[in-house]
């Protein structure tokens, strides 16, 4: 990464140059292969006040160039804010690349096949049960059978030739439908 720091209408001290260089070196944590960073610090006078303009130009391969311009009355503040904005722009680009990976058609098909297999495994299994519906039974007999077995309900035909359901309720009592 090439770093160039330039001062227009202002002399930059070594401490300012070291501060900018150290901050720009921290941009490497985003793994963006930065080609070059150009920092230009200039001074302007408007209405009797001195204003500082800091401009960062970050050149990235196969991407657009990032340009950050920051104006402030204090040079150190302008540099710090411009560095924060450049870091934020790099973070956005990095997150965009990491989160939005291109996925091939074969990978999508493979993922869908895995989902379909897991859905088939998760389906409820229906087990056919042979019912003894055709012989008439008394309610008391069915109640005793239901108490003795671990079943939740029993379907039967009563003496009046009606199909009935005797079931266990949540409160431990029994219901008849």
| DSSP letters for 27-51 | GGGG-----EEEEEEEEEEETTEEE
Q: Which secondary-structure segment (H or E) carries 4?
A: strand 2-8
Please state the φ and ψ torsions of residue 150, each to the nearest 5 degrees.
Answer: -95, 15
pTM (predicted TM-score): 0.53
Nearest residue to 133 via CA among 162, 168, 153, 160: 162
Token pair listed for 12: 């930059």
Q: pLDDT tens, 27-38?
A: 888 777 888 899
Question: How many angstroms separate the CA atoms of 97 and 95, rounded?
Answer: 5
Domains of the chain: 2-98 (3.30.160.100), 139-176 (3.30.505.50)
Q: pLDDT tens, 93-110?
A: 888 877 666 666 777 777
């Amino acid at each position: 990464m090439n770093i160039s720091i330039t001062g227009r209408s202002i002399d930059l001290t070594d401490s300012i140059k070291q501060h900018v260089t150290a901050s720009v070196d921290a941009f490497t944590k985003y793994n963006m292969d930065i080609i070059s960073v150009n920092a230009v610090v200039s001074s302007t006078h408007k209405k009797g006040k001195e204003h500082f303009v800091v401009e960062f130009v970050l050149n990235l391969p196969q991407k657009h160039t990032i340009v950050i311009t920051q104006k402030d009355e204090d040079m150190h503040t302008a540099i710090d804010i411009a560095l924060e904005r450049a870091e934020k722009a790099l973070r956005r680009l990095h997150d965009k690349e990491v989160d939005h990976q291109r996925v091939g058609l074969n990978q999508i098909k493979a993922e869908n096949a895995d989902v379909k297999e897991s859905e088939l495994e998760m389906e409820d299994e229906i087990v056919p049960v042979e019912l003894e519906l055709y012989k008439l039974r008394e309610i008391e007999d069915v109640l005793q059978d239901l108490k003795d077995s671990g079943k939740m309900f029993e379907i039967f035909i009563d003496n009046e030739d009606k199909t009935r359901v005797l079931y266990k309720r949540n409160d431990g009592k029994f219901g008849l439908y």
